[in-house]
Structures are given as C-alpha cells and as structure tokens.
Amino acid sequence: MSHSLHPRPHLLAVATAVPPFLLDQNTVVERIKRLFGRSPELDRLLPVFANSGIGRRYSCVPLEWYDAAHGWADRNGVYLDSALDLLETAARAALRRTHRRPEEIGAIVSVSTTGIATPSLDARLIERIGLRPQVRRLPIFGLGCAGGVIGLSRAAAEAAMAPGETVLFVVVELCALWFRRDDLSKSNIVATALFGDGAAAALLSTDGAGPEIAATGEHTWPGSLAVMGWEVADDGLRSLMSIDIPHLVATRLGDAASGFLARHGLTLDDVDRFVCHPGGAKVVAALERAFALPPGALDDSRRVLRDYGNMSAATVMFLLERLLALGRGNGPDWRCALANALGPGFSAAFLTLENR
C-alpha cells in the first residue's frame, strides 16, 4: 500500500435522503402509455421498464407534474428548492450520527449535475444549516454518475490536507425532473425507466472513527466523449447514453481497476467488498464480469437499484451507508472495499476503504 505525506481521512458517517413522491414502476409505464399514445415504436421500447431491475423510485414532484410541459426556468426552480431541502435533511442526519456541530465543519464539497445553481448549492447551505462564514467551498458539476466517488475523493483530499478538521461532502441528483414528454427517443425512454431522485451527505476527518479512505483514482478512455452525457435542449436536458455501455464495462473496466489497485500495492483479490454504482441491471451484470465475481455478488447494488432506481452520483452513497453499517457488527466483516462508478468522460472513478 502506498503511503501519503498526509494522514488518512476516516469516513465518519453517511446519511441519505429521498424526496416524498414514490414512483412505482408499473404506474410509470401506464402514465407513459397515456402521454405518448400506443405505437409500434413505443411498444418496442416499453420492455426496458420490465428489464430495468427497478421496482420503485422517488421524485421531487408528483407524477401528475409530468403531464404538463415545463421549460428550463420552471424545472430549474424546482431543482433548486428540492435539492436544498434534500441536502439539508441529509447533512443534518450525518451531523447527528457523529455528534458534530455545523460550526465544526472546515470545508464543504458539493456535487450535482442535474441543475444549475449560482450561487452554488454549498453556498446556499451555509446559513441554512449554520456553517461558519470561513468554510472552504468546492462545488463540482458535470461528473454524472461518477460524481459520488469523485466528489468523495475530493472531500477526502480536503480532510487529509487539514488534519483534525471535519469536511462535509454533499451530493444531490434530481434526474427524474428532466423527463421530456415530447421525446420518444430510445435515450429518453431508457432514462425514464432508470432514473430517480436522491441525495446524500458524508462527514470525513482524520480525527474520528470509521474506515480509512486509503486510495483514490480515475481513468478516462480516449475518444469516449459520446458514451454518455447531457445535451442541452430548449426545454431542458436530454440524456445521452450509448447502447455499448454494458459491453464497455465488461471488457474495459477490469483492466482499469487492476491498474489503479496495482499503483497502490493491491490486487482485486485483496478486495472483499465491491461497492459498485448500479447504472442499470445490465450494467450490474457487466460489473460482475469485469471483476470476475460470481453471479449475485453485487446483490447490494441490485437492491439499491430496485428500491431507488439510478440516482446518478448519489446512488453509490446509498451503498456506502450500508457498508458502514456492516462495519459495526451488523453483517459480514470486511477489511478492504473498492467503490467505483462510471460517468461522462467516459470515466471510471475508484476509491478504496480500509476497515481496521
């Protein structure tokens, strides 16, 4: 294992939050049929809902909201209000779990790619939750699904450079907000079948109990900008996703992960917990192949996908919340965990935790 000049930060707590409106997958399918009208094209696309591995998700707006047309200003206004509510809920829960006060936080790192906020979300949280005026801020945009792992990595770097300080990491994604009711493209229907809304907060410090964040890293494949991302349209953000993503995960991720681990004196055999962002049912199966895991090894990822959908960057934090619970004697022991997610770039993000 490589050694750093800075002490390693501990992941003290993770807390998650979801908005109030539950979207049952079967109910969503019926609403889609009503909105678009039955057609051979829609009939061809509808099986993606049944094959998604998702039973329910949560939305910051009720299902009826999607019946009407909404432009940029309307959608982004909902984003700002809902994102701040969710982040406040998650941040306060993380503080309660660690018995720490808002004024003890020295830095805040925020991640979101599903709305525009200037001033950024972290600035809007300062007075809302009682952070010090001197708190250091790092807002990050554009990471997509990789944002949970990369953002947590940046928060860990902040904590390592300021020993003893507490760093707050917050992430929120309101993916469902950008459903486009006049777009019968495959990308829009797939996004409608997969994405949900959620948020999370984590506290990190070199001073405190919890697994150590031992190593972080990223890998961006050349010539892959078109694999996933957002396209700006007049009425909002249009999801772009290549059909090749599961194949890319199955064939290329393993080598990238092995290279990352090797740079830190580890191999895949040293990892006894895989914390993988579940982009979708096919992606989870591809992840098992990429890491040479037996079928079912990533059932935690499948359960989060089933119960919450793909919440983009926030999703991996729901898995890390469960991982911390296992470290408190509530499940199988683990010593080394590898967290990973993939996002626009096309990039893979990695983070290892050691449970001593």
Q: Cβ(202)–Cβ(19) under 8 Å?
A: no
User: How many CB atoms within 10 Å of residue 232?
Assistant: 8
Q: Which of 355, 324, 276 is nearest to 97 (CA)?
A: 324
Q: Cβ(131)–Cβ(107) under 8 Å?
A: no
Distance CA 53, CA 287 (A): 15
Three-state secondary structure string covering 265-281: CCCHHHCCEEEECCCCH
Residue 184, helix vs strand vs coil: coil
Cα–Cα–Cα angle for 162, 314, 171, rounded to 5 degrees = 45
**Intra-chain end-to-end CA distance of the chain, in Å:** 14
Determine the distance from the C-alpha atom of residue 335 to the mean position of all C-alpha atoms in its chain, rounded to a whole number.
Answer: 23
37-72: b or e for each residue (b if 16 or more CB lie within 10 Å)? eeeeeeeebbebbeebbbebbbbbbebebbeeebee
Q: Which of the residues are catalytic?
A: 145
DSSP H helices in the chain: 25-36, 40-45, 47-50, 72-98, 121-129, 147-161, 186-194, 245-262, 281-290, 299-308, 315-325
Distance CA 220, CA 222 (A): 6
CA atoms within 13 A on the CB side of 316: 31
